[in-house]
Amino acid sequence: MSLVSKITRSAITLSLVAGLPLLAQAAPLKVDAAKSQVAITFKQMNVPVDATFKKFNAAIDFNAAAVTTSKASFDLDVASFDLGDAQYNKEVQKKEWFNAPQFPKANFVSTGMKQAAGGKLEVTGNLTIKGKTTAVSFPVTLKKEGNSQIFDGTLPIKRLTYNIGEGEWKDTSMVADEVVIRFHIVTNP
């Protein structure tokens, strides 16, 4: 075998071997829905109220070796919003609040990720609620437990930015404008 053939074969083998770990790390993670949660907290008459979204889909393609190539997206089923009371749940589906018949999903799509101070990630993206899209940025804590990766974060928003609470409900003395979205997403390879 000629020297050129050996070098060519070695170069091809090296490039294939070097590329395999990157392909393995770029695989999307599987979300463990039973262990994951998306919740919000807001204040009604200055009293904190917690609620959850019972149904959501998340797609996370995370590469710890190249964080900037990572991506994430979430779809929240607005009809699954649970305040812990059937009457309140029905009320928030109406046009003045989420307008679930017209806007059945709220979603987030990342546009970038980077390492941040304290071992956190800084995630940027577009959040769409009730047909209104805004650019957002928030920190995410990532930890590993066994084979699982856990993504925890909070995203403060203003509900009126997304027309949540129209008409008489624009009054922020009854329901505060500030809402904090919290998520705890457990993934497996």
Chain segment 114-138, per-residue pLDDT in tens? 999 988 999 999 999 999 999 999 9
Assign residue 160 a region (left: φ > 0; alpha: ψ between -120 and 50; beta: otherwise): alpha
Q: Pick 189 or 125 by higher pLDDT.
A: 125
Averaged pLDDT for residues 42-49: 96
For the whole prediction, is pTM greater than 0.85?
Answer: no
Region for residue 72 given its phi and psi (left: phi exceeds 0; alpha: psi -120 to 50; beta: otherwise)? beta
Which pLDDT score is estimated for 118?
A: 86
Q: Exposure of 17 by Cβ count < 10 A (0-12 exposed, 13-18 middle, 19+ buried)?
A: exposed
Task: Give residue-wise pLDDT tens across range 145-163.
Answer: 999 999 999 999 999 999 9
Residue carrying the six token digits 């497996």: 188
The 8 Å CB, 24+ separation contacts for 166-169 are 166/95, 166/96, 166/97, 167/96, 169/96, 169/97
C-alpha span between 64 and 114 (Å, rounded): 10
Q: What is the DSSP string of 127-164?
A: EEETTEEEEEEEEEEEEEETTEEEEEEEEEEEGGGGT-
